[in-house]
Amino acid sequence: MGISRRDEASTRLVSRSVRASVPSLRAALDAMPAPRTFWTAPDEATVVAGGAAATLTANGQDRFTAIKDGIDRVLRSGDVHAGTEAACPRLFGGFAFHDEGTDDETWADFPGARFVLPRVQVTDTDRGTWLTVNAVGPDATAEAVETRLDAERERFESLDVSDPGPPPSILSRTRTTPRDAWCDSVDAAVSRIRAGDLRKVVLAQALAVTLDRPLSLPDVLARLGDTYPDCYRFLVEPAVDDGDRPGFFGATPERLVTKRGRTVTTGALAGTTGRGDTPAEDDWLAEELLGDEKNVHEHELVAETIREQLAPFASSISAGQRRVRRLATVQHLFTPITATLGGDTHVLDLVEALHPTPAVGGLPPGTALTTIRETEPFDRGWYAAPVGWIDAAGNGTFAVAIRSALARGTETTLFAGVGVVADSDPDREWDEVQLKYRPILDELER
């Protein structure tokens, strides 16, 4: 764990918030100290944050429990004055896809789990913008935090807001999986499914892009917000001192889970087609998707499994009508799912139970994860894993980190995957992967 158990007093939290007139969230993110955090979700506040008042890390199969215990020690007691619930102290972060972690240098700065209580946080809500300063430790005092809050307020309110510059140019692209190898891996998976070893497996690719200069993450997140306003946008940075610190970011349409009190909201997002060039073609593609046997089968596997995973925690579960969710470059089948908890359940208990959903892993889970490890020629790291936030009450929201990329210096690696079932066609699945690169790739090619 990143916080020692030796001295409970060392986790004393002091937090203060004040209204602030921040001229630009993009400029605020650019001005934040490392490690920077960005989070925005439908019907939630947008958070731009920096620094680390406390950091929790964990590895291995007990990482969810270890983080939950650490969060309790950080947030359970303290001197907190927040003008709005959205500005109350929260920890932001996420998990690696696989329990066992990775030795891949690409993800060297991203452990099995990592969460940060930001030192400085700007929270933008429908009712105004709040600036928060947090401090943790035996020497944390209200006077010191309030002095820092006054200084940060002056700094952020006087930010110079300039127009974002043009995105960098792409110099080269390198695929981890050649097309022939991809077709072979899909055919092998289909054979195993037809033999009864698997019901579904999600196979992914990675695309390494070399740019002519480092990517501005505040700029690309702002552009993603223009194109994908209803998605979960995020940025997670590790505390790396060098100038080429990595940043994992994305604009994902897939929520893993939201918990508010005893109300749980989630959904099944699986089954994909493209967008049409005209409204009529768009509608035709949507109707075709709703009636496509392969995509509907894949989708129902996901929805059924989510309901089964929630059942041990819930007194009731309900699912809405399956429909098409349209994004800028693709359309997905989507079924909303809600549940009422039967007892006091922490959001991380739900995250652990739901991850990985069949939309990013497969069925049965153990066999699918082994197949992914054996088949994919790269490590997923935090791709397709839970990212989000947690508060002192055990509430929170987590998204599935798809439509995502890892940026470091002039290198940005994009990730995308597809679900393979018994009637999957390798060429169609290849084309679907290329569609799913578009959200990030389009922002690099403007």
Catalytic (active-site) positions = 200, 254
Question: Which residue from 107, 209, 244 is spatially nearest to 414, judged by alpha carbons?
Answer: 209
Provide φ and ψ at 176, rounded to 5°. Answer: -80, -25
Q: Which amino acid is at 199?
A: R
How far apart CA 446 and CA 187 sit, in angstroms, is 36
* Residue 377 DSSP one-character state: S
User: What six digits make up the tokens of 264?
Assistant: 């749980």
Contact 204, 416 (CB under 8 A): yes
- Cβ-based neighbours of 134, under 8 Å, separated by 6 or more: 13, 14, 15, 53, 54, 89, 117, 118, 119, 120, 121, 145
Could you tell me how far CA 272 lies from the centroid of its own chain? Answer: 20
Could you tell me how far CA 255 lies from the centroid of its own chain? Answer: 8
The two counts, helices (H) then strands (E), for the chain are 10, 23
| Cα distances (Å, whole numbers) of residue 320 to 223, 283, 303 | 32, 21, 11
- Looking up tokens 């996901």 gives 302
Contact 257, 65 (CB under 8 A): no
User: What six digits make up the tokens of 140?
Assistant: 């944390």
Question: Which residue from 166, 174, 114, 113 is spatially nearest to 412, judged by alpha carbons?
Answer: 174
Helices 293-310, 347-354: crossing angle, 10 deg rounding: 140
User: What six digits make up the tokens of 249?
Assistant: 């970011």
Length of the chain: 446
